[in-house]
Amino acid sequence: MGTGAAQVISLSPVRHRDDVLAGEGLLPVLPAFRELLPAGGLQRGSVLTSGDWGLLCLALVAGASADGAWCAVVGVPSVGVRAAADVGLDPARLLLVPDPGRSWPQVVASLLDGFDVVLLRPPDRPPAQLRHRLEAAARRYGSVLVVAGDWPGASARLTVTDAQWTGIGSGHGRLQARRARVVAGGRGAGERARSAWLWLPGPDGSVSMAGDAAGESGDYPAAPERLRSSG
C-alpha cells in the first residue's frame, strides 16, 4: 500500500555494535547492567521489572536508546527528561503517553508494535489474563516491556536495595552522586540473584559501576568539585 508514510524514510532495524555483548534479539544495555542481566542485555520479547518508578527504569533502557532503539513511556506524567538524557536516553527517540487512562492495556499493546522498548507504570495491578496478553504482544513484536511495579511473570526483576547519597551534609554541600546496590533476580527459584553497586546517578548524571567497597561511605572517585552553594 503506497501510504504517505512510505515517503518517510524507514529507519533500519536497531543494529548492534560489535563491542556490545549482543546476540540475536538482544538490545544493548549500559555497561553497568551487563553483569546484572542474565543475557547481558535486554532480551527482545521479554518483560522486566525495575521496582518503583525512578532513575533505574530510565538507566535500564538507556543503552538501547543510545543504540538507536525507540522508547515509549506510558503512565508516568513526571518523567525527568533532563535526567533521562543525562543517563543516555535520546529524547528524540522518546515518546510519552503520560495519562493513558482506562485503555492503558490497548495503548501498551499498540506501542509494543512499533517501539523497541515500552516503559510502563500500570495505574492498577493488572489481572493475570491481561498480563499474559501483553507478554504475548511483546513476544510477537519482539519488543521489551519494562514495568515500574509488580509483574509476576517478569523474566528479570531489578530493585535498588540500598542507596546512599554523597556530597550533601547538614546545611552544606549538594547532592552529588548516589551509590546504589541494585539486585537482579530471575524468574526461576534456581536462578541466583546477582547484585552490583552502581553510581545511580554519578555527578554528571550518568550511570556506572561503583566497585564493591560495600559499607564504606565511599565518595565518588573523581576529584570532587568544590561544593559551593550555587544559587
Residues near another protein (CB under 8 A): 1-11, 53-55, 58, 70, 72, 77-86, 91-101, 103, 106-107, 110-111, 113-115, 160, 162-165, 168-178, 201-205, 229-231
Name the minimum Å distance from CB 22 to another protein: 20
Decide whether 136 or 191 has the Cβ nearer to another protein: 136
Decide whether 169 or 190 has the Cβ nearer to another protein: 169
Q: How far is Cα 226 from Cα 208, in angstroms, rounded to an integer?
A: 22
- Residue 63 backbone class (left: φ over 0; alpha: ψ -120 to 50; beta: rest): alpha
Name the minimum Å distance from CB 31 to another protein: 18
Decide whether 21 or 96 has the Cβ nearer to another protein: 96
Find the radius of gyration of the CA atoms of the chain.
18
Name the minimum Å distance from CB 17 to another protein: 19
What are the CA-CA distances from residue 66 to residues 63, 69, 98, 114, 163 (Å)?
5, 7, 22, 17, 26
Name the minimum Å distance from CB 114 to another protein: 3
Decide whether 188 or 231 has the Cβ nearer to another protein: 231
Decide whether 188 or 215 has the Cβ nearer to another protein: 215
Q: How far is Cα 104 from Cα 73, in angstroms, rounded to an integer?
A: 12
Decide whether 54 or 211 has the Cβ nearer to another protein: 54
Q: Which three cell numbers stand for residue 169?
A: 551534609
Instruction: Give Cα 47 to chain centroid, integer Å.
Output: 12
Q: How far is Cα 202 from Cα 16, in angstroms, rounded to an integer?
A: 26
Identify the three-state secondary structure at position 195: strand
- Is 71:169 a contact under the CB 8 Å cutoff? no
Name the minimum Å distance from CB 104 to another protein: 10
- Of 29, 58, 59, the residue nearest 43 (C-alpha): 29
Name the minimum Å distance from CB 184 to another protein: 18
